[in-house]
Amino acid sequence: MSNRLPLSIASAAVFLCLGGTERVQAYLGSFEEQDGYHTPVTVTGYLDIGGKGEIPSLGIVGDATFYNGDPSNGFISWVPPAATPNSAGDTTHGPDVTRYNAGGFGISNGGPGGVGVDIQDNSGLWQALQGGRLNDDANAPSFNGSVIQGRDHIIAWRYPNPHDGAQVLDVLASEVDLTYKYSLDSRDLNGLAPSASSEYRTGMSFWFCPTDSDDGYVDNVLGLGVKDVTGQKLIEIGWTGSNQLQYRVGGSSLWQTTSVNLGTHGWSQATITVDAFNNTASLSALAWDDNTGTLSSHTLLTDVALGLNAASLDSLQWTAKGGILDPNFGAVAYKNTFDDFQFNAVAVPESGGAWLVAIGALAVSRRRRK
């Protein structure tokens, strides 16, 4: 799979996303070690177990434990023996992001440094709400996948063809449907507290690559939504098993399927902008074409009304369809990958600063009358 873009195309994509500003990393970032995402290939700072950097379990009460009775049970990177790939000999797949402080360490974008450590499951920035790790936990310690024997998870993956760096985010709903939540942090918004974003126009871009294994399934297989602090889903982007780009606005339950086809042999980019003050959203995409090996630009939404009163931004929500999607076509759920998240928050002039402008105009008027 070739994911390398000509320099001119990649540079243009970054310029379109951030308006020419310097690229920064954040809590999501590129899912590298310096962004706070661990794979066992990184040994420095971790327990060196056979040349793999492992995060030791702290034996936290209530956390699921795999490999019962196995001496290797003390490492949260370990997975059930029947799952593929098996982390006992794998340095490329990290622990599920809800099992350690994923995104909470590293030096990118003003991070605190440090390394990955065991935490109470689901107590960090990432939470498994349905499926994923929860499905594996329910069948531990002898989990044996029935579809493709893949483990259900969201993890950092040492991927052979990332968009940038060495690692990507791997979303795999192998057996059952998956729902994960990621809580936005001030590092994501370059110092702005998410609770203050109600008066901001916040842009988010990311690169993604669908899978081939679910081709033939025409319904939605993946969704990524932006939610506010009240739980409202403001805008959601996704795609079908046949790789048609989709979106939903304002909490709608109906996917709008576009004519934009996404390739699976290269990286596409989505750029979402939410104006939480004016209650609007915009969406554009650069879609990879497998036949030509090029990107095409598409503007799908421009400041469309959300149809609701948006509060401050709070979180992102990943949903993925799991299981056998279409036995007639051999379509099964499999990996969808993400890379290079970037955010750009700009204050809306008509919001917090409007009253200052009004007071200034009033003062000028009074001076003129005097």
- Contact in structure between 17 and 31 (CB atoms under 8 Å): no
pLDDT tens digits, residue range 154-212? Answer: 999 999 999 999 999 999 998 899 999 999 999 999 999 999 999 999 999 999 999 98
Q: For residue 118, what are its two tokens? A: 């065991």
More reliable by pLDDT, 354 or 127:
127
Average confidence (pLDDT) over 345-354: 71
Distance CA 26, CA 342 (A): 7
Confidence (pLDDT) at 215:
87
Q: Who contacts 104 (Cβ-Cβ below 8 Å, separation ≥6)? A: 27, 36, 112, 124, 125
Residue 74 lies in a domain: no
Residue 309 lies in a domain: yes
Query: Which is nearest to 294 in space by CA: 5, 2, 62?
Result: 5
Residue 18 above 50 pLDDT? no
Average confidence (pLDDT) over 237-261: 96
Q: Are strands 52-54 and 47-49 parallel, antiparallel or unpaired?
A: antiparallel
Share of the chain above pLDDT 90, in %: 59
Confidence (pLDDT) at 97:
94
Confidence of residue 7 (pLDDT cuts 50, 70, 90): very low
Residue 237 lies in a domain: yes
pLDDT tens digits, residue range 47-59? Answer: 888 888 888 888 7
Average confidence (pLDDT) over 112-138: 91
pLDDT tens digits, residue range 144-165? Answer: 555 555 678 899 999 999 999 9
Domain count, the chain: 1
**Per-residue CA distances from 115 to 62, 72, 294 (Å):** 23, 21, 38
Lowest mean pLDDT among 99-113, 148-162, 236-250: 148-162
pTM of the entire structure? 0.84
The CA-based dihedral angle spanning residues 111, 117, 120, 125, taken in that order and rounded to the nearest 10 degrees: 20
Average confidence (pLDDT) over 338-361: 69
Distance CA 33, CA 31 (A): 7
Q: What's the domain range around 254?
A: 8-25+184-369
Residue 267 lies in a domain: yes
Confidence (pLDDT) at 358:
39
Say if residue 226 is exposed, middle or buried (CB neighbours under 10 Å; 0-12, 13-18, 19+): buried
Confidence of residue 21 (pLDDT cuts 50, 70, 90): very low
Query: Which is nearest to 190 in space by CA: 179, 204, 211, 174?
Result: 204
> What's the gap between Cα 61 and its chain centre?
28
Lowest mean pLDDT among 33-42, 295-304, 307-316, 328-337: 328-337
Distance CA 37, CA 204 (A): 20
Residue 317 lies in a domain: yes
Confidence (pLDDT) at 60:
83
Average confidence (pLDDT) over 321-332: 85
Element spanning 299, H or E: strand 294-305
- Contact in structure between 303 and 184 (CB atoms under 8 Å): no
Q: For residue 203, what are its two tokens? A: 């842009």
Residue 333 lies in a domain: yes
**Per-residue CA distances from 112 to 34, 187, 191, 199, 340 (Å):** 10, 11, 14, 28, 20
Residue 127 lies in a domain: no
Element spanning 48, H or E: strand 47-49
CA end-to-end distance (rounded Å), the chain? 74
Confidence of residue 310 (pLDDT cuts 50, 70, 90): very high
Confidence (pLDDT) at 334:
82
Share of the chain above pLDDT 70, in %: 77
Lowest mean pLDDT among 125-129, 140-144, 277-281: 140-144
Residue 104 lies in a domain: no
**Residue 238, domain CATH:** 2.60.120
Q: What is the DSSP annotation of 78-130?
A: ---TTSBS-GGG-SSEEEETTTBTTTSSBSTTT--B----B--TT-SSEEEEE
Query: Which is nearest to 150 in space by CA: 341, 25, 322, 301?
Result: 322
